[in-house]
Amino acid sequence: MNYDAHANIFWGALRALPEKYCRLPGVPESLPALAANYPDLFDDPTRSEESKNAVDAEWRRFIDFPPERAGAARLHFFPGPMDRQVERIGLYRCMLERIVHSLQERNFTAFIKHAGCLSHAMGDAVQPAHITPDPNNFLLSQMLPVPEDPQLLDFHYHTSVEAVTGTCGTLAEPKLLGVSIEEAAWRLSVDVLLAIRHCRRYIIPTVEALFAHDTGRAEQLAAGPVTVAAQLTLDALFSAILIAEKRVGKLPPVDLRLIPPAAERHDLVYGGAILDGNKKMPPNNVPVTPGALRVGGKIVHLPGLGVLPHSGMQFDRSCYMSWILPAGVFRYFTALAGLHAEIGTGGAVAFSVLLDGKTVWNSGRMTAEMEAWNVEIPLGEATELTLRTDDANEGKCFWNNNAYWGRPQLHRSPETEQEK
């Protein structure tokens, strides 16, 4: 994002907050646009200390972080690709802590500056120039080579895309990300990852518009990531406000179906967990069969994640999904585990739950004729949850091992969670 795009993101989020936070006492009208660009202004090594101090004598207070807690000393110092969002949970936690503290102290100028830095992080995360297939854009340049056009001699896949300014569209109602700063930071990292996956769709059309010298089309496309970043910012600030005012209330259990795993491995036949069903293959182009398990002597259709243990050709005959958890936020994990009652006939698998890499529950060998296990696992202080499914018939029934994790959920303590 460029300067104006970052300003548009932050202003879009601020204007969607409750009215009393739209115009805060003692906050200059020009501050939000400036604060939204603090990380770029103050991380710039070519700017002198004197010039930085002239903008804000306390600038380090807003962009410096303890690396042992945040994962890096500053926003722009994070190594690795942008979609490794689990590495940024500590940074988001530090940012939210500062925002909440400034609100509780009624220091609204500090609130705007801290919130502007968080807004900048959201803009950087979904900027199409930052989420291309590789950081130096070698792959993108091979897929979309620059046309032989004298007007495109200076085209650059990063800076040319980033130079396009998008406006902020209409935002949805803000949502509460969690009942605590720890949960909100974790959920923000999840939502940012989902936003990155969404915003990758803008990369190719934006480059094509710039190749065609269609600035209007490029700006229209740029509005998408700007609006997404503003929504992320809005949800984070709204959550910080409710936490600061102690008005968080209760939230429903977390539906793990909708949380992308931090790591996973599946057979290529499935490619990944299938939402709310399994596929009876071959052939490979069959539709999804809705998830079904045997519960209480009946076949019950229910939401969940359908998986297929690996064939064993390249890896062991298993599949798994692992999620990073905020320590101590969730009390226990629940699910129903079994072979698909309708298309798992002839298959045999074993289900396991691992916490921090250690097996804490195993179903033993299961077939489609057996009742699904009602799984309930205390989480304690675990920071990683893994759901693993292993073949239990020496690979002889690979195509029938359609396994299903029904209603996988994370639960908080009763005082902070709505009833099921």
Share of the chain above pLDDT 90, in %: 87
Please give the pLDDT value at position 161.
96
Candidates 130, 46, 42, 119; CA nearest to 83 is 130
Q: CA gyration radius for the chain?
A: 24
CA distances, 358 to each of 94, 305, 378 (Å):
30, 22, 13
pTM of the model: 0.94
> What span, in angstroms and rounded, lies between the C-alpha atoms of 239 and 245?
10
In this structure, the number of other CB atoms found within 10 A of the CB of residue 268 comes to 12
> What span, in angstroms and rounded, lies between the C-alpha atoms of 35 and 360?
47
The H or E element that residue 306 is part of is strand 304-307
Contact 330, 254 (CB under 8 A): yes
Q: Would you list the DSSP string of 88-118?
A: GHHHHHHHHHHHHHHHHTT-HHHHHHHHHHH
The DSSP letter of residue 241 is: H
CA terminus-to-terminus distance, the chain: 41
Tell me the mean pLDDT in the region 11-30: 90
Token match 């103050």: residue? Answer: 42
Task: Summarize pLDDT for 80-138 with one digit per residue, the tens.
Answer: 789 899 999 999 999 999 999 999 999 999 999 999 999 999 999 999 999 998 888 89
The H or E element that residue 376 is part of is strand 373-378
Work out whether strand 332-339 and strand 403-411 pair parallel, antiparallel, or are unpaired. Answer: antiparallel
SS3 state of residue 62? helix
Whether 419 has a pLDDT exceeding 70, the answer reads: no
